[in-house]
């Protein structure tokens, strides 16, 4: 008869990551409350020690373990969001539209409050960045690229 080990399959691992964190956090919180309640009823430090050793310290360890399990389960989502944020847009319209030189017309993003030089990292690669007239009108100069007024 084959032995099935808990957490060995991907479904078991997903189950542990999904429910292990919240269960450990809840159990740790309950132990901490029980330990606090026990300690609060004792005025002598020697009589408080058993409550600390038996429930408060293990409760705190379970809270930390639950937090680690919760964040570990979100690792795939974090990596997916990072990939979306750092992915270069393959828009052919960007390649065809020439960017103005650093001293040329300034750029602004629709709805934005700043105007930028063309080489500013805040507007580089933005397909919706459009040239603005003169010194940007009512827009404020970008503090990163510091376009000349």
Q: How many CB atoms lie within 10 A of CB 29?
A: 15
Strands 114-115 and 140-141: parallel
Using the predicted structure, report yes or no on whether residue 114 has a pLDDT greater than 70: yes
| The total number of structural domains that make up the chain | 2
Q: For residue 142, tell me if it sits in a domain.
A: yes
Domain identity same for 76 and 104: no
Q: 50-75: per-residue pLDDT in tens? A: 888 888 889 999 999 988 888 876 66
Domain identity same for 73 and 96: no
Q: For residue 133, tell me if it sits in a domain.
A: yes
State the residue range of the domain holding 103: 91-149
């Amino acid at each position: 008869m084959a032995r099935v080990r808990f957490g060995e399959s991907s479904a078991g691992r997903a189950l542990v990551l999904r429910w292990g964190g919240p269960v450990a956090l809840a159990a740790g919180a309950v132990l901490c409350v029980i330990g606090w309640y026990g300690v609060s009823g004792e005025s002598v430090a020697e009589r408080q020690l058993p409550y600390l050793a038996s429930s408060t310290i293990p409760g705190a360890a379970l809270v930390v373990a639950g937090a680690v399990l919760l964040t570990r389960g979100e690792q795939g989502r974090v990596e997916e969001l990072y990939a979306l944020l750092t992915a270069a847009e393959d828009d052919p319209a960007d390649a065809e539209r020439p960017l103005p030189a650093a001293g040329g017309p300034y750029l602004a993003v629709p709805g934005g409050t700043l105007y930028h030089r063309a080489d500013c990292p805040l507007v580089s690669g933005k397909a919706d960045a459009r040239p603005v007239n003169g010194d940007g009108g009512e827009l404020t100069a970008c503090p990163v690229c510091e376009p000349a007024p």
